[in-house]
Amino acid sequence: MCGIVAYIGSREAYPILIKGLRRLEYRGYDSAGVALLNKGNLSVYKKEGKVAVLEDFAKNHDIAGNIGIGHTRWATHGVPCDRNAHPHLSNSHRLAIIHNGIIENYASLKAELETRGYVFESDTDTEVLLNLIEDIQKEEKRTIEEAVRVALNEVVGAYAIVVIDKNEPDKIIAARKGSPLVIGIGQNEFFVASDASPIIEYTNNVVYLNDEEFAVLNRNGQLDIKTLGNLEKTPYIQKLEMDLEKIEKGGYEHFMLKEIYEQPQVILDCMRGRMNAEQGWIKLGGVNEYATRINNAKRIIITACGTSWHSGLIGEYLIEELARVPVEVEYASEFRYRNPIVTQNDVVLAISQSGETADTLSAIQIAKERQALIYGICNVIGSSIAREAHAGSYTHAGPEIGVASTKAFTVQVTILTLMALQLAQSKGTISQSRLRTILYEMEQVPEKVKQTLKLDVKIKEIAAKYFEAKNFLYLGRGLAFPIALEGALKLKEISYIHAEGYPAAEMKHGPIALIDENMPVVFIATNKSAHEKIVSNIQEVKARKGKVIAIILEGDETIKGLADDYIEVPDTDELLSPLVAIVPLQLLSYHIALMRGCNVDQPRNLAKSVTVE
């Protein structure tokens, strides 16, 4: 939610900022802006819309300067417009700021500043924070870093900020609490960004700031980090393991398509070294580390949001089925606000692609206070949730840039499957031969996903038949129910078609009233144990003239004879079927969205990483 980038050194800042903003655009694209400091002049250019609009605007202006900050916005306080775009200037126009997060007590701070004569040009909480910094700087005669520190002690909320001061042109100040921030260290130069993607081509030495820390980045190459309590910290420099190629589109038309096609490889990468079918073992490092607590857990609580919550539902089925441990799956946003009963006998699994989702982060903080063991399943290495958790498993899918989550989902399900199997093996709830059979089948999954991707042409034809529909229903039973939810979410978020996922058997308790000849109903019929029942549900839809699109296993003649359209996917062990069944639904929504002229990588109103409540 909002991307920030900054540079100080001897290069021209503007090209670095713009390139960085393009890479961070997945985090928000309501407006974009830069501030550049050059020979005592502070210039700010900002425009509503995407980074390209800003670039177009800035090309007729002076963009020189070796210090700069840039921002791409996902609006929280104030509508998207030039005025509310970042960077913001302080009243004296001496300071400029970029901010990702929310200052919750901004209203009272603003009222107080207004009584002291401050005037606000925007509706944002960020401008309030900046003027608070300016006020402290002026009134208390403090350096910029001191003013930032004192101000941040007064604010409630979340932030990753960078501040520059026209009168102190040899440094920039960065601080964070609850929103991500990485510092890249070059030769007498520094980069700051919301994630490492804008930094990677310049340096792979990075420092991740911790919550309630701030950094002073000096042009002479000196880096000072302190806590908000004014304690000095020694910077912990880490090596980035990110590949530039992986953050480019690599010949695909969209990131989403590239990421869908990466699934065979990332599932393989995710399993690598963690299982061996031949020898019949599974080894998730994080599970081994806390084996006693995990094996003895009375209950597992899975908490997540959106797509990650859907993978959590699959985790529930798998863990209960294989390891016979009770599992609850909770929306993190509900969990954190309902005084949940959590004890030291619980294990809380937090699932998050970004590792920065504010609700999920808060949920685990609550569970941690109540002594539960926190296990993170994250994709982004070094992310806040990964760091807050006691243990965890990275999904190793590489950067996911398309706003609609695709490959992150399949690797989350892969980890959850391994976890369920490892737990089942330790608890003795699975026979060694059944375990081996599943592991052998798991090894085949990447190839089966690859085969499913070959159905793209047919899926596109089906998309062409239905792309003008106003509503869609997605139905599935058992393990196919979360897939129905996920298929519906993919469609609605990128094509803006209203779509609902439902347990197929629940249809008759309400949604069946929606069915007529204009309603496409997508059935996920890939779990054999529910076959007869799903056939009956298809009949019920056909009897009401609904249009049936069925995801079936190869050779399912019964459903072929009933469905208006069908997509045949390779058979696998039923417990692994979600990993294959989701793929045609991702492609279906991709093609439908394109046919409707939607921006699939940057759907309206959304942002990749939701760092606000």
Binding mask 214-253 for ligand F6R (x = CB under 6 A): ----------------------------------------
Q: Which of 295, 370, 365, 300 is nearest to 329 (CA)?
A: 300
Residue nearest to ligand F6R (CB): 306
Q: What is residue 204's three-state secondary structure?
A: coil
CB of 298 to ligand F6R, least distance (A): 26
CB of 303 to ligand F6R, least distance (A): 10
- Kind and range of the H or E run holding 394: strand 391-394
Q: Is the CB of 65 or the CB of 482 nearer to ligand F6R? A: 482
Query: What phi-psi label fits residue 250: left (phi over 0), alpha (psi between -120 and 50 degrees) or beta?
Result: left
- Near ligand F6R in 590-609, by CB under 6 A: 609
CB of 306 to ligand F6R, least distance (A): 2
Does 608 qualify as catalytic in the annotation? Answer: yes
Q: Is the CB of 66 or the CB of 586 nearer to ligand F6R? A: 586
Q: Which of 566, 559, 597 is nearest to 581 (CA)?
A: 566
The residues pairing with 391 across neighbouring beta strands, listed in sequence order, are: 375
Q: Distance of alpha carbon 216 from its chain centroid, rounded?
A: 29
- Near ligand F6R in 391-420, by CB under 6 A: 404-405
Binding mask 553-592 for ligand F6R (x = CB under 6 A): ----------------------------------------
Helices (H), 502-576: 531-543, 557-562
- Near ligand F6R in 302-361, by CB under 6 A: 305-308, 352-354, 357, 360
Q: Is the CB of 423 or the CB of 489 nearer to ligand F6R? A: 489
Catalytic residue among 2, 270, 378, 598: 2
Q: CB–CB of 20/70 below 8 Å?
A: yes
Catalytic residue among 47, 166, 226, 608: 608
CB of 17 to ligand F6R, least distance (A): 25
CB of 311 to ligand F6R, least distance (A): 9
Structure tokens belonging to residue 585: 């639904």
In 10 A of CB 39, how many CB atoms? 8
* CA neighbours closer than 13 Å in the CB half-sphere of residue 229: 3
Q: Is the CB of 213 or the CB of 259 nearer to ligand F6R? A: 259
Q: Is the CB of 47 or the CB of 310 nearer to ligand F6R? A: 310
Q: Is the CB of 95 or the CB of 489 nearer to ligand F6R? A: 489
Q: Is the CB of 275 or the CB of 499 nearer to ligand F6R? A: 499
CB of 365 to ligand F6R, least distance (A): 15
Structure tokens belonging to residue 345: 């006998």
CB of 343 to ligand F6R, least distance (A): 25
Binding mask 178-217 for ligand F6R (x = CB under 6 A): ----------------------------------------
Query: What phi-psi label fits residue 410: left (phi over 0), alpha (psi between -120 and 50 degrees) or beta?
Result: alpha
**Does 452 contact ligand F6R by CB under 6 A?**
no
For residue 423, which amino acid is it?
L
CB of 408 to ligand F6R, least distance (A): 6
CB of 592 to ligand F6R, least distance (A): 15
Q: In 437-512, which ranges are E strands?
A: 471-476, 498-503
Distance in angstroms (rounded) separating the CA atoms of residues 409 and 260: 10
Q: CB–CB of 450/260 below 8 Å?
A: no
For residue 321, which amino acid is it?
E
In 10 A of CB 236, how many CB atoms? 10
Distance in angstroms (rounded) separating the CA atoms of residues 386 and 356: 9
Question: In angstroms, what is the C-alpha Rg of the chain?
Answer: 25
Binding mask 490-519 for ligand F6R (x = CB under 6 A): ---x--------------------------
Q: CB–CB of 440/483 below 8 Å?
A: no
CB of 102 to ligand F6R, least distance (A): 16
Q: How far is CA 155 from CA 125, 139, 148, 480, in A?
A: 11, 18, 11, 45
Helices (H) and strands (E) in the chain, counts: 20, 27
- Kind and range of the H or E run holding 145: helix 144-152
Query: What DSSP state is assigned to residue 178?
Result: B
Contacts with ligand F6R by CB under 6 A: the residue count is 15
Q: Is the CB of 412 or the CB of 422 nearer to ligand F6R? A: 412
Please report the DSSP string for 386-425 in residue order: HHHSSEEEE-------SSS-SHHHHHHHHHHHHHHHHHHH
Q: CB–CB of 242/201 below 8 Å?
A: no
Q: Is the CB of 134 or the CB of 356 nearer to ligand F6R? A: 356
Please report the DSSP string for 7-40 in residue order: EESSS-HHHHHHHHHHHHGGG--SEEEEEEEETT
- Near ligand F6R in 251-310, by CB under 6 A: 305-308
Q: What is residue 413's three-state secondary structure?
A: helix
CB of 493 to ligand F6R, least distance (A): 6
Of the chain, the end-to-end C-alpha distance in Å amounts to 11
Does 270 qualify as catalytic in the annotation? Answer: no
Q: Is the CB of 125 or the CB of 195 nearer to ligand F6R? A: 195
Structure tokens belonging to residue 495: 């094509």
| Site residues, ligand F6R (CB under 6 A) | 305-308, 352-354, 357, 360, 404-405, 489, 493, 609-610
Catalytic residues: 2, 608
